[in-house]
Amino acid sequence: MGVDLTRKGSRKLGESLIGTALFACAAFSTLVTVGVVVVLARESVAFFSEVSIVDFLTGTRWEPMFQEQHFGILPLVSGSLLVAGGAGLIALPIGILSAIFLSEYAGARLQAVLKPLLEILAGVPTVVYGYFALTFITPLLRLVFPGTDIFNAAAASIVVGLMIIPTVSSLSEDALRAVPRSLREAAYGLGATKLEVSTRVVVPAALSGIIASFILAISRAVGETMAVTIAAGNLPNLTLNPLESIQTMTAFIVQASMGDTPQGTLAYRTLFAVGMTLFLMTLGMNIVSQWVMARFREEYQ
């Protein structure tokens, strides 16, 4: 009695159906992305046919709605970077320290409590963060620094910082956990203390993942919209003073989209030019973080 090794028709059909369905899903999301980029690019091209790209990238005044229009995006970019930088100052140290604590120090029970708490931080709607900044953090800031504007970059930085802590801590924690136990044992075997094992072996070995988590978190902060629109204000302002009111790229987009800018006008197209800039910035950061991860992944076998 021979063994039947021939292809079964029904199985082949099923396999190919599943394959097609999966392909369709993948193709759909790719197409959506492509579509978004195409729309962004088309309107941006139209925008740059009227405004010089050099003026756009180097101008220090952003006054698209004024009689005499200025399209220098630097105030918006600086606003975004001010908020993101401040958020990074808060989130990176806290995030990496909590990651080290969770991966190297916390017992199973503490982890079971702390990790969900951190996840909740990520799950709070960003509009809530915005109001928290405006009604709680800004008053505090004004107590300490009486000249602080009602809308200011610092309050936005602080809440965006809180918001991105989970990104840093959970991605960094994954990177720390991926460091093989054998490396830790080697260090302990040489008479290293727990702190030395963590800081001199585990963190350096996980550095690529940690840096990638930093970049991803910062790119989230740059793209953050709701909280900064509420807390940081709508005043394009080329400044490094976090206590002043500023406008981020995202906040401008919100402001312009809500207004009654007629379609096809130059003012309308600024939306897309700013959107494109934002998209390229976050895309760039994501690519760098992917590259860092891939480039340094094989550090340990």
Partner 1 sequence: MTTIYDIEVGEEGPALETRDLSVFYGETMAVDHVSFRVPERSVVALIGPSGCGKSTLLRCFNRMNDLVRGARVEGAVEFHGQDLYAPTIDPVEVRRHIGMVFQKPNPFPKSIYDNVAFGPRINNFRGDEDALVEASLRRAALWDEVRDRLEESAYSLSGGQQQRLCIARTLAVTPEVLLMDEPASALDPIATQRIEELIYELKKDYTIVIVTHNMQQAARISDYTAFLYMGKLIEYGPTDSIFTNPREERTEAYVTGRFG
User: From CA 186, how far away is CA 189, in angstroms rounded?
Assistant: 5
Least distance (Å) from partner 1 to the CB of residue 111?
13
DSSP code, position 65: T
User: Looking at beta carbons only, is 63 or 196 nearer to partner 1?
Assistant: 196
- Give the amino acid at 84: A
Nearest distance from residue 191's CB to partner 1, in Å? 4
Residue closer to partner 1, measured from CB, 136 or 300:
300
> DSSP label at 50?
H
Q: Which run of H or E residues covers position 146?
A: none
Comparison of 12 and 200: residue with beta carbon closer to partner 1: 200
In 3-state terms, what secondary structure has residue 55? helix
**Which one, 25 or 112, has the nearer CB to partner 1?**
112
- Residues 6 or more apart whose CB falls under 8 angstroms from that of 201 comprise 179, 183, 184, 186, 187, 192
Q: Which residues bind partner 1 (CB under 8 A)?
A: 180, 182-193, 196, 200-201, 204-205, 299-301
Could you tell me the smallest distance in angstroms from the CB atom of residue 300 to partner 1?
5
CB of 113 to partner 1, least distance (A): 18
Nearer to partner 1, 139 or 180 (CB): 180
Closer by beta carbon to partner 1, 3 or else 113: 113
> CA quadruple 273, 66, 56, 49: dihedral positive or negative?
positive
Please, what is the minimum distance in Å from the beta carbon of residue 215 to partner 1?
A: 21
Nearer to partner 1, 35 or 180 (CB): 180
Min CB(100)–partner 1 separation in Å: 17
Helices assigned H by DSSP within the chain: 9-50, 53-58, 74-100, 108-123, 126-132, 138-144, 153-177, 181-189, 194-196, 203-205, 207-223, 226-232, 249-258, 266-296
**Separation of alpha carbons 267 and 66, rounded Å:** 10
Task: Check if the beta carbon of residue 153 is closer than 8 Å to that of residue 138.
Answer: no
Q: Please, what is the minimum distance in Å from the beta carbon of residue 211 to partner 1?
A: 15
Of 246, 220, 218, 227, residue with least CA distance to 132: 227
